[in-house]
Structure 1
Amino acid sequence: MSQSVQAEPLQRISSAEGDANAQQFLFQSLMAGTATSALVQVKAVTGGGPGQPCTVDVQPMVHQVDGAGNTVPHGIIHSLPCARIQGGAAAVIVDPVVGDIGAAIFASRDISAVKASRVPSQPGSLRRFDMADGMYFGTLLGGEVTDYVRVQAGAVAIKTTAVTIEATSVAITSDTLTHNGKDIGATHKHGGVTPGGGETGVPV
């Protein structure tokens, strides 16, 4: 069932009746322009992969409402840096895609200089709590997935079409190792071999 939004204008006739009411109007006006966090939808993705984390263009999903109760969609916020799980040169990379719904957090000061230099810097301007200083954090309200890495206590499951591993060496320690139900681990056996001192050939 839909629910209408009953909004009231910040400035009323009573706003001019005394200093307290005037101060309340000023305070509410300032708070109305303060950005803290928002549900947003990804509209474009730039970069990503093994390089630097991507940036996204997003649109806040909760519309603005004027004093008459009319809703006005937000515009697009461009080039928000994306968070990902990373420590030094090691990372888990799951870049967002267009259509994802996630959380945008807005900084208390202008972060443009830090984004450009990647070192501690003075604020790029005097703006405060502005949507231009947003950061994108992950996916919320996501749907069903088809490819995943699922981590539970005592179990890790991977489901996908293809897995590629690039490493200098690979070491597996386990009690059993199977492929399509057949033992291919340290205890596996070869059929059709005459016992003796020889060794089987290399895998074919």
Structure 2
Amino acid sequence: MAETELKANYDDFACSSELNAMDFFVRSIVSKVVSTSLPVVVTAVERSGDGSGAGYVTVKPLLKPRNNSGDGLEVTTIPKLPYFRLQHGKAAIICDPKIGDIGLAVVAKHDISNIGGNNTPQVPATYRSFDPSDSFYIGGFWGQAPEVFIHLEDEGTIKLKAPTKITLEAPDCEVNASTSFTVNSSQINLNGPISGGGSSGANATFSGDVKAKNISLTTHVHTGVQAGNATSGQPRQ
């Protein structure tokens, strides 16, 4: 390495002895060839859809390398880094990266191109080591104020917020609330047969009117009865 390439980083300690000079020289070499982790910003996202596994991102380092004068040099993008998704077996929380997200590129020791999701140990395709192109992306640093989220607190509360829509899909959905279960909405649509009471035999109570095929429960009248003071009989079983 030329003397001018190290001059900018020399200090009094490095020049105090041959040992310190050699230590500085070795550290300078290592710092130029070994990468550990890099703060990055996402510039592109490759997704295969909700029904598939996690995909890849292209990222751009947020820290510029310096030249001998201490000025920053332009950085290039790092393509096709596998990104992290919270997943175990076939269970996953899908919240994939977006362009502009800030994260960390964690650099592997060896070439990872032979892995590609294969869980069988492989021989590295090349002899390169600690190269930024062999990184894994972990995101979520300095994020924007979320508008769609699941908020969990250890005090015992969970909040789900979705400005557009929440969909629950399962053959059987059950809610167990020992105190109360409240639904607040300007309109409630129930599609399908409704059974009430359950094993406890509890009654259903409505504070407003109930209509079936536009027939009001509180204001409906009966036809085919004789006028007078008599009332109609009990409903048929």
- The residue aligned with 1:159 is 161
1:62-81 matches, within 5 Å, as: 62-81=63-82
Aligned to 1:4: none
Q: Distance in 2 between matches of 1:121 and 1:75?
A: 29
Q: Report the CA distance between 1:111 and its aligned residue.
A: 1.2
| In structure 2, distance between residues paired with 1:197 and 1:26 | 95
Query: Residues 108-148 of structure 1: CA distance to partner in whole angstroms, max 9, x if unpaired?
Result: 11111112644211122111111011101121011211111
Alpha-carbon distance in 1 for matches of 2:117, 2:54 = 14
Distance 2:98 2:135 in 1: 18
CA RMSD in angstroms, aligned pairs only = 3.0
Q: Answer whether contact 1:10 1:25 (CA < 8 A) is retained.
A: no
Matches within 5 A, 1:68-107: 68-107=69-108
Q: 1:177 aligns with which of 181, 195, 199?
A: 181
Q: Distance in 1 between matches of 2:176 and 2:235?
A: 27
Q: How does 1:135-150 map to 2 (within 5 A)?
A: 135-150=136-151
Q: Which amino acid aligns with 1:9?
A: A
Q: For structure 2, which runs of at least 5 residues remain unmatched after alignment?
A: 1-5, 189-195, 198-202, 210-216, 219-233
CA distance in 2 between partners of 1:28 and 1:112 (Å): 28
Whether the 8 Å contact between 1:46 and 1:56 is mirrored in structure 2 is yes
CA contact (8 A) 2:64 2:75 kept: yes
Partner deviation per Cα, 1:85-113 (whole Å, 9 max, x = no partner): 11100100001111111111111111111
Aligned length: 189
Give the 4+ runs in structure 1 shifted more than 3 A: 7-12, 17-20, 184-188, 191-194, 196-199
Give the distance between the partners of 1:198 and 1:47, measured in 2 at CA: 60
1:176 Cα offset (Å): 1.3
Higher strand share: 1
- 1:41 and 1:100 in contact (8 A); partners too: yes
Contact 1:58 1:77 in 2 (8 A): yes
CA gap 1:179/1:46 in 2 versus in 1, 3 angstroms? same
How much identity, in percent, do the aligned residues show? 28
Normalising by the residue count of structure 2, what TM-score does the alignment of the two structures yield? 0.69
The one of 187, 196, 205 aligned to 1:189: 205
1:25 matched to which residue of 2? 25
Secondary structure at 2:99 match in 1: coil
Work out whether residues 82 and 137 of structure 2, in 8 Å CA contact, stay in contact via their aligned partners in 1. Answer: yes
Task: Give the direction of change, closer, same or farther, for the CA distance of 1:22–1:177 in structure 2 (3 Å limit).
Answer: same
8 Å CA contact retained: 1:39, 1:104: yes
In structure 1, how many angstroms separate the alpha carbons of the residues matched to 2:33 and 2:69? 18
SS in 1 for 2:138: strand
Structure-2 residue corresponding to 1:108: 109
> Any conservation in 2 of the 1:62–1:73 contact (CA below 8 Å)?
no
Q: 2:135 is matched with which residue?
A: 134
Distance verdict in 2 for CA 1:125–1:9, change over 3 Å? farther
| Alpha-carbon spacing, 1:67–1:197, altered in 2? closer, same or farther (3 Å) | farther
